[in-house]
Amino acid sequence: MQQEIVQQGIDLMVFGMGTVFVFLTILVVVTVTMSGVMSRFFPEAEPPVAPPAAPANRVDDRTLAIIKSAIEQHRKR
């Protein structure tokens, strides 16, 4: 009797692991196939080319002096 239970347990384990293995194999095959179909019929759009960055605006001397003065007044507080 003990041997029958162990044998049934092993049979059930092999059947369960086999089922999971087959399911995962089918899942991988279907996923790879879908990926290939999607890539073939719906290719990714090329990323848009960004325009060249505009040169940084140069701050004139008067505005720079005002900014420096404001920073100094703020630090004195």
Which residue type does 27 have?
L
Whole-number percent of the chain with pLDDT over 90: 62
- Under 8 Å between Cβ of 34 and 26: no
Residues 30, 18: Cα–Cα separation, whole Å: 18
Residue range of the domain that includes 5: 1-42
Q: How confident is the model at residue 6 (pLDDT cuts 50, 70, 90)?
A: very high
- Residue 72 within any structural domain of the chain: no
- Residue 36 within any structural domain of the chain: yes
- Residue 48 within any structural domain of the chain: no
Q: How far is CA 28 from the centre of its chain?
A: 19
Q: Quick one: pLDDT at residue 11? A: 96
- Under 8 Å between Cβ of 59 and 67: yes
- Residue 65 within any structural domain of the chain: no
Look at residue 47 and tell me whether its pLDDT is greater than 90.
no
Residues 3, 11: Cα–Cα separation, whole Å: 12
pTM above 0.85, yes or no: no
Structurally, how many domains does the chain consist of? Answer: 1
